[in-house]
Amino acid sequence: MYISKLLGKQEQLLGASSKNYSMQEGKLSQSQGTSQQRHWQDVLTPQQIRGFAVGEFAGKVVESDTAFSHTKIDFFRNYSITCV
């Protein structure tokens, strides 16, 4: 819950299309339909964050075409932190 408040949500367009055929009085007829629905989803879910490895982080990018960043810093592999 906290992650979605911190990073926000992103809009996603969901689309569907259908094609139907029917036979009436020996004639084949066809009908088609499409629909789009706007859906808001978390930028990152808590499950995705829990799956981050050591050195991985995500954040918002200010004044950029890319609104969010997901990065891993490899140099953390060489360090260990001990809590006393």
Domain boundaries, the chain: 2-78
Give SS3 for 41: strand
- pLDDT on residue 3: 72
Cα separation, 76 vs 78, whole angstroms: 5
Q: Which residues of 11-48 are buried (b: 16+ CB within 10 A; e: fewer)?
A: eeeeeeeeeeeeeeeeeeeeeeeeeeeeeeebbbeeee
pTM over 0.75: no
Per-residue model confidence as pLDDT tens digits over 18-62:
999 998 888 899 999 999 899 888 888 888 888 888 777 777 777
| DSSP assigned state of 66 | S
